[in-house]
Structure 1
């Protein structure tokens, strides 16, 4: 392991830190590799900024610093060639609240929502909580990449919103410009608003892939879009509650904020502090993290695909491996591996019980132990 990656090999005991990831299996010898937060210590720049705020000693009401808004505008332009305006940004205490607000802002009670499947479960529950009709758009394997099959999607006449995910969770696909243009044509044909969850946009592992925001395609795409981003996954600050919706359309932004008013607050003052430090000072840390995750991704591709009954297709982004265990001769792959001491996200939560989702944003030692336990469990079947 190269010297600059040593930081990510540090074992930090999270069992006493009120971590839901680690509390789930507290007192049991099961490695938690499920919920999408990493086991990596946050960059010193974020910790330092938070310490300075804490040392100030007062935590009253706050609002979005102009400097943070400027950083986001600059970041979108420099990294993704998307030129946004400051007034388009709506600050949120979490990305999931953005999904739920989008459903309520973009649809009336009789109007429908379309979402890929399998997908992050909060997409489905956002429609169900709002009691909106839900149509699933099948995600299929195409040339070793998981893609939403829009041609196979039957769109009810009253559909108004497409919940989209790029990079895709699960599956890790980074959509190309051509693929996004196909989505745009689909949205125009059916007059859909597209709410695009792009929370993993900074976690691109395939060095040939490039994240393209859906809203950056052209003016029509922008005006029918809500883009959700956050520093939470990238810099492991999910617990602080920092997220943003970028909404170019004045009317759509007005509807979004009207639904939100009095119910969903802005980010808290510590979240603003952490987000600003992350976006301003932590690119070197992110570069190192990506190199570390690429090593884990490459190792998993080799190790998982050598295990009978398992298949892992290339992961272009995220730190989440979507493992096909449908050929494993067990009734419940999640329960099988949990009994072997490895706790994954069950594929059933995503609508595919024959799969498991593995979080590999952990130390190399943890990954090695997880692989060993998986291999021994499979060998025990024979």
Structure 2
């Protein structure tokens, strides 16, 4: 079967933040894809809509079975249903974890650059944020273990991990995740692992994704693994995710933090998630192959044709983390907005000013148009045009 990732679909005016937040700009910022979702998902949604009644929903048996099959096939993990918590999204889960474990004035640790909500959810808990920069070592981005040891304190209660890493594109190895879990055990931290991009790894033989759910039992018991089909199958707007929490005490504290703050999960999202996990593998494989070609061309273009920019090829995600400090401009994202008409993510929001993030999950023709606009803006900067 062959799916179409080349057709440009008009999205402006459909109420999506990617195109309608700044409608005068060409958007390559927020992490959603410009691809029509898997036909299997569309079919499942049509069938559910045709039923015609949308009362208060709950997770149905088909969804749980699909998650069970997915975890077994993709991660080698046996689902224990009592460990499973259904959620309306992963960002609320980050906030819940902060409130559950840092609400007593504790500290939350994470490594930067990172998805902006990681740097904001501590406010929900009146907690303190500790950040340690990733370092480039051994030809890849890694944890700075020595700085993490210096930063952690008896008040630190939680570690937020993004794996695969948004925005660096690292798929952390089993050794790294296990070492991090050991660090959390030593310092009595709960490890929250956001794995929303885990099915977007480009070479699963060389850099396979290792889930916190795969940790040895002694380490896994202090973990919260967060998963969702939303990024991989482009259904983020439907709002479904889930948590795996093996430890009863941690699970109770997490659930207790909900209070009455979370809305019911969308009735359609359950069926979209079921279809993604049960029938979406052929589409996912073709998607990743297409994204890999986009990634390779983007990396070549940035490093070869854009003076002042550089990038290390991401192992996962469809998000390119571009070092723009060599341009010599105060705010690269603002520069490309003003001079190229592009909407890119500003690295400052991820904790690293001087960088931009470029979403290459789009038809190749659109990606190339965006890259050419960047190149022209840089050439004009260099020549004073």
Alignment TM-score, normalising by the size of structure 1: 0.96
Identify the residue that residue 67 of structure 2 maps to in structure 1: 72
Q: How many residues are aligned here?
A: 377
Identify the residue that residue 124 of structure 1 maps to in structure 2: 119
Q: Is the 8 A contact 1:293 1:319 kept in 2?
A: yes
Q: Is the 8 A contact 1:215 1:221 kept in 2?
A: no
SS of the residue corresponding to residue 36 of structure 1 reads coil
1:148 to 137, 143, 146: 143
1:344 equivalenced with 2:344 (yes/no): yes
SS of the residue corresponding to residue 210 of structure 1 reads coil
For residues 278 and 308 of structure 1, the distance between their equivalents in structure 2, rounded to whole angstroms, comes to 41
Between 262-271 and 181-190, the greater mean CA deviation after superposition: 262-271
SS of the residue corresponding to residue 293 of structure 1 reads helix
Identify the residue that residue 325 of structure 1 maps to in structure 2: 324
1:172-187 correspondence to structure 2 within 5 Å:
172-187=169-184
For residues 240-285 of structure 1, the C-alpha deviation after alignment (integer angstroms, 9 at most, x for no partner) is 0011011111111111111113222442210101101111111111
1:1-382 correspondence to structure 2 within 5 Å:
4=2, 7-26=4-23, 28=24, 30-153=25-148, 154-207=151-204, 208-306=206-304, 307-339=306-338, 340-382=340-382
Q: Is the 8 A contact 2:56 2:264 kept in 1?
A: no
Shift of 1:205: 1.2
Segments of 4+ moved more than 4 angstroms:
none
SS of the residue corresponding to residue 54 of structure 1 reads helix
- What is the root-mean-square deviation of aligned Cα atoms in Å? 1.3
For residues 130 and 253 of structure 1, the distance between their equivalents in structure 2, rounded to whole angstroms, comes to 18
Structure 1 unmatched ranges of 5 or more? none
Shift of 1:220: 1.7
For residues 206-256 of structure 1, the C-alpha deviation after alignment (integer angstroms, 9 at most, x for no partner) is 342111112312012211000111011000000000110111111111111
SS of the residue corresponding to residue 97 of structure 1 reads helix
For residues 218 and 173 of structure 1, the distance between their equivalents in structure 2, rounded to whole angstroms, comes to 22
Alignment TM-score, normalising by the size of structure 2: 0.95
Shift of 1:316: 0.3
For residues 107 and 215 of structure 1, the distance between their equivalents in structure 2, rounded to whole angstroms, comes to 22
SS of the residue corresponding to residue 193 of structure 2 reads strand
For residues 297 and 216 of structure 2, the distance between their equivalents in structure 1, rounded to whole angstroms, comes to 39
Q: Is the 8 A contact 2:105 2:125 kept in 1?
A: no
SS of the residue corresponding to residue 290 of structure 1 reads helix
SS of the residue corresponding to residue 202 of structure 2 reads coil
Q: Is the 8 A contact 1:180 1:214 kept in 2?
A: yes
Shift of 1:286: 0.6
Q: Is the 8 A contact 2:99 2:124 kept in 1?
A: no
Q: Is the 8 A contact 1:150 1:186 kept in 2?
A: no
Q: Is the 8 A contact 1:144 1:314 kept in 2?
A: no
Q: Is the 8 A contact 1:92 1:265 kept in 2?
A: no
For residues 180 and 359 of structure 1, the distance between their equivalents in structure 2, rounded to whole angstroms, comes to 26
Shift of 1:343: 1.1
Shift of 1:181: 2.0
Structure 2 unmatched ranges of 5 or more? none
